[in-house]
Chain A
Amino acid sequence: MKVTFGLRLDGEHGWRPANRLGMPVLGPLGLLNLLETRLGLLRAECTQAQRVTQYRECLKRCDTPDRFYHASFGVDPIGASASLLSWRDDWYLHGWNGDLPSGAGVRIADMAAVECNARNLLFPSLGERLIQVAEFLSRQQSKIESVELVDPMEAFPKRWRDVLAKLPVRSVRTYGPSADEKTVLGRLQVALKSAHEGKKPNGKIAWSDDGSLRVVRAETCLVAARWVAQTFTSRQEEVAIVAGQDRSLLDATLDAVDIARQGFQDSSPLVPALQVLPLALATVWEPLDVYALLQFLSHPIGPVPGYASRRLAEVIAECPGIGGPRWREVIEEIEKLYPERAADLRKALAFWVEHPRYSPSHGAPLTVLLERTRGVRDYFSARFSDQDPIQSAASATGYRQAIAVSAALEALAAQGESSITPVELEALISHCTARGAPNFAMQAQVGCVPSVSDPGALVEPFDRVIWWQMGAPSLPGHYPWSRSERDTLAQAGVELPHLDEVLAQRGQDWLRPILNTRKHLVLVLPPPGEEIHPLWQEIQWCVDGLRPEPLEDLVTGRAGEDLLEVAHAPLPRRRRWWNLPSEVKISIRPHESYSSLNTFLNAPYQWVLKYPARLNPSNLLAVTDENRLYGNLAHRLIERFFRTGGAQAFRGDVLKAWFSQQFDMVVAEEGAVLLMPGRCGDYERLRAVLGRALEEIQRQFRAAGVVLVEPERDLAGTFPGGDLKGQADLVVHNKSGQQAIVDMKWAGANSNQDRLAKNRHLQLAIYAEMLRQETGAQPQVSYFILEGSRLLASDTGFFPEARVVQSGSSGASSPLWDQFVTAWKWRRSQLDAGMIEVAVDGIEPTPESEGPPGALKPEELREAYNEYRWLAGWED
């Protein structure tokens, strides 16, 4: 076997595909695995998260108040363990053997003390595995015929050098100029090579566009990707790509123009399958994390059956909480739809949603967390056999994560722990998830070219090299140890390379794509404003007059013909009227409501999109909160109050006790977001406001001699457009048999006062008309503003203590009803003629926007609540 070995070759493809049977190209993980296999040293795998857990135990056993890590370990045991484990592993890789060096300071002495435990408890690190491999190689043949190094020997850590010393290393690859030395590229290669060898530059190269070097830059990565895609196949050359940053965008663009995908996948810990377990575990804490539960239930992947989870997620978004009236209703509705699955659903909900929760300060039992983690594992394992390979791969990813978390939790349990705090659990999951997984829908395709993410992995010359997004690279960080600590470590055999050497080697690595280009080098710079690569600065210095070509010039055809012309397709312009084709008719709805009619009269285009077109925004986008939530909770509480027998007679402590108990219950069931950490102030503010509001309602009703209150009263009636339906917040009756409608609003005292004053209280007028049609008597109408505990009415006829709002007109509802009917007929005739008014700010009304005499004048609805404003068209 002939092995090519380099430090940066794991997972890379910076060489030509060829028949390489018996000639593998390997990085450190690849070669270590090969050697361990050949030497019979393979062992069961251990994840890094398990190692962190094992090291945590080592640190814990040695932990005393005078240990240097004591305080940090107390704050973040998993994070501190991961951090110190990386120290230890680094030291081993560079030559440590775990002994306490002489003259060691506190930190190194503590680490050496911990090491006494780690030797027995910890799965070996790469460095320790290399020690073992080196020992075995001393007495056993590896059957490797030759090894070629693509990096200089001194670039390898000590433990690798020890192993390589026992292997037949035949050659070390070197890199030099490979382009014609008469070209700009050829001369640049010589200049850079010489500069990186420490020689002073010998003057500058005059720029001339001989085609060997091209540097481009676009305002956005997308334009750059389109250009690369367009020019990718224009020449019959051996091409290689260097793509470290924004590489998935380039691949998606190549895919879009039918060029083979390169498999540039950025791993992410947030791929859908990896979100399931963290969400399933985030809901175990007290108080309920409403946002996590919404995400858990609305996630397209998850153990709660899909036929129920989305509908329950809608309930959580609308009435955040578990077990409220809406929650129960929806479960019953689902069970009616799927009676054969009812028992399974109840079981799934009991396990995943309606389970006990635990105090974050005391921690959750490991047994409970293990049970849930295994539940997620089983869910994914049942989906391995999915016919769709993408779904199957996603399930495997979720399964592996669940297995890793289970193993880590089991390790903690084996160490005698019984519970874990949320901070520790989050850190543990994060370590088990690591860098996450790629997008499985974007695997490489046949026809892909050699490509690397690390420039140092491009180890062969190619005719053409494209360096995509040549931005600032990540540089090696400073060592976390003091100079004296590094000196002590050196005495203990730890050969940490000096940062200057590491940076110089990185500089050599960056040169490889430049030196390995035979004919055409293309450098695609990141958009202006983003930090550029240090090597680009060097190139710019070397080649006098070299400037990046703005790709936008190429796109607009001002330079070259590299890109296809894309026809300009403007977004639709804003117009005051939309016209339906004559064959399209919008029929009358089976029944109408106030909110539909209000939109119909004032914003016909919104009405058309919302009702006939059924174009509605998702109701899962956000958890209901603030004024809308407060209003909902107030309605629910007041409804409960008036449904409680004898509640109107409650006074003093009895009222307070009722309020206190019911308020807590309503919030827990439908406003649990207010129980989350940081919401205590909002909770108490709401409690105070509703307490005052309830007292004021009672006072007003007493003064009015109210004898009967009907909360959430269903109303029905007719109008020229057909049936009407609605629900009045409160319908009240006094001793004289008169009735009134009270509409409760959370806020908006001024706007509602204005509505009454201007005789535009359409909602109340419609409700009043429905009640009149039902009972034959015209009711009084009023608003109750909850936030200000204020009852507004146009006179004191029913509520003597109400704040009276003087109306400009008679104030009675009937004329308003007539105005409404006239306006409705006018709008309906427009719709029948196919005319739809786009009544939004910024488009001037036309004469057709004016209603007939006697019609309720349209009013502008608040733009903030217009969900369709971007569908009204765009300005030029």
Chain B
Amino acid sequence: MAGTLRFVSAGAGSGKTYRLTQILHEKLSLGQATPGGVIAMTFTRKAATELRERVRTALLEKGEFALANSMGQARIGTVNSVCGGFLERFAFEAGLAPEQRVLEEAQAGALVREAIDAVSERATVQDLVKLARRLGIESWEDALKSLMDQARANDIAPARCATFGERNAKDLLAHFPAPTAEDLDALLVHTIEIAVPALEQRATGKKNTREKKGV
């Protein structure tokens, strides 16, 4: 298996898990893999449970009771549980607390807010509150968390992420005309003053037409 990467891609219910158990049985019974060397990750607990059960059943079907029992060593679980296990296993190498906990969504949101508080000056928060009001953003903290989640999911380093703001602003401003010294408020008012009577006249005309038709 060393050095090879094999993709098994197929639609739901087409037999991916079955194929996986076949591969596992083959490799385990030939001694090309050991139960302790198996890592299998799924997105849900249900899928992890099913995979564990099906791998065991497949081995039992072949009469491999001892091997089925040894599958307790295999790391088969959700992404959270398997990766969480590795984080704990290598906590000292990574300089982390040895006991790791998976955060619930709500806890994660609360912690992001605490982190924002910890790194933000009061004046910065006040500026952000003002800016969010002008832009009609209800919760700038949620917007920031969403940005952080996207950056993390796409492995975008904080330094690179920081340059996006300027780039986005430039892209947006490219759609606008160059700044002008002209009094645009006055121009708008003037245009409205011209437009309103014209619109009223048109509306009256239509009404008259309708009335005539009604007759």
Contact = CB atoms under 8 A, between A and B. Distances in A.
Interface residues of B, number: 48
Contacts, number: 117
A201 B60 CA distance: 10
Contacts of A504: 66, 69
Contacts of B92: 68-69, 71-72, 80, 107
Nearest to A72: B92
Interface stretch (A192-200, A367-375, A403-411, A721-729): A192-200
A79 B66 contact: no
Given A195-B65, A503-B73, A684-B125, A532 B98 contact: no
Interface stretch (B48-56, B169-177, B180-188, B200-208): B48-56
Given A499-B73, A678-B110, A541 B89 contact: no
Nearest to A479: B89
Interface stretch (B4-12, B13-21, B127-135, B147-155): B127-135
Interface stretch (B24-32, B111-119, B160-168, B191-199): B111-119
Interface size class of A (residues with CB under 8 A): 35 or more
Contact of B46 (A480, A529, A538, A688): A529
Max chain B C-beta neighbours (<10 A), residue from A72, A200, A476: A72
B129 A79 contact: no
Given A478-B89, A504-B66, A688-B129, A681 B97 contact: no
Given A196-B65, A503-B72, A83 B140 contact: no
B60 A79 contact: no
Contacts of A476: 72
Nearest to A198: B66
A534 B76 CA distance: 14
A79 B98 CA distance: 6
B129 A681 contact: yes
Contacts of A173: none
A688 B130 contact: yes
A681 B96 contact: no
A680 B96 contact: no
Contact of B120 (A195, A499, A538, A680): A680
Interface in A674-694: 677-681, 684-685, 688
A503 B98 contact: no
B57 interface: yes
A500 B118 contact: no
B91 A72 contact: yes
A678 B106 CA distance: 13
Given A538-B68, A677-B118, A678-B117, A83 B99 contact: yes
B61 interface: yes
Contacts of B98: 72, 76, 79-80, 82-83
Contacts of A530: 49
Nearest to B65: A195
Interface in A543-563: none
A361 to B, nearest CB: 10
A107 B69 CA distance: 32
Contacts of A71: 92, 94-96
B158 interface: no
A681 B95 contact: no
B63 interface: yes
Nearest to B72: A475
A680 B68 contact: no
Nearest to B48: A531
A843 interface: no
A612 interface: no
Given A503-B72, A538-B68, A680 B117 contact: yes
B36 A478 contact: yes
A854 interface: no
A678 B116 contact: yes
A490 B88 CA distance: 23
Interface string B101-112: 000000000111
B73 A478 contact: yes
Given A75-B95, A76-B98, A534-B69, A684 B60 contact: no
A541 B57 contact: yes
A537 interface: yes
B114 A678 contact: yes
Contacts of B65: 195-196, 198, 201, 538
A681 B141 contact: yes
Given A504-B69, A681-B129, A537 B114 contact: no
B126 interface: yes
A389 interface: no
Interface string A470-513: 00100110101000000000000000000110011011000000
A480 B89 contact: yes
Contact of A499 (B36, B56, B91, B125): B36
A457 to B, nearest CB: 20
Contacts of B112: 678
B63 A201 contact: yes
A80 B89 contact: no
B122 interface: yes
Contact of B68 (A75, A82, A200, A534): A534
A109 to B, nearest CB: 14
Interface string A188-213: 00000001101011000000000000
Nearest to A194: B65
A684 B126 contact: yes
Nearest to B73: A499
A529 B45 CA distance: 10
B70 interface: yes
A292 to B, nearest CB: 15
Contacts of B56: 534, 537
Contacts of B57: 537, 541
17 contacts: A71-B92, A71-B95, A72-B91, A76-B99, A80-B97, A478-B73, A500-B73, A504-B69, A531-B49, A537-B60, A537-B68, A677-B113, A678-B113, A680-B116, A681-B139, A684-B122, A684-B126
Interface of A: 68-72, 74-76, 79-80, 82-83, 107, 195-196, 198, 200-201, 472, 475-476, 478, 480, 499-500, 503-504, 506-507, 529-532, 534, 537-538, 541, 677-681, 684-685, 688
The 5 closest A-B pairs by CB, nearest first: A71-B95, A678-B113, A76-B97, A83-B98, A678-B114
